[in-house]
Amino acid sequence: MSKADESLFSRRLAAALALIAFALALVAGLEAGNTFSTTVTRALIAMVATFAIGLIIGAMARRMLEENQVQAEKKLKDSLSEISTEGR
């Protein structure tokens, strides 16, 4: 996975979470009877905050997946080498 793909993964996750937070904040604000400007302002703040949190979560998830992939590849390589040495 290239650096651009890694960054794209984190940004996509962050954007998806931010849009969900924005939509939920809009609905909650309208249901509470807040004014339009108050609702949109709070929804935008929620979106920006969630985007930042999403970037962190995305980076952590990407790192976790990379570590698991390395471990799985090592296990596979070790098991294949054991099989080849047992067969001799």
CB 16 within 8 Å of CB 54: yes
Output the pTM of the full model: 0.75
Residue 84: pLDDT band (50, 70, 90) is: confident
Confidence at 68, pLDDT banded by 50, 70, 90: very high
pLDDT higher than threshold 90 for residue 55? yes
Q: Is 10 left (phi over 0), alpha (psi -120 to 50) or beta?
A: alpha
Q: What per-residue confidence (pLDDT) applies to 3?
A: 66
Is the pLDDT at 42 greater than 80? The verdict is yes
Q: At what angle do helices 36-86 and 3-32 cross, to 10 degrees?
A: 140
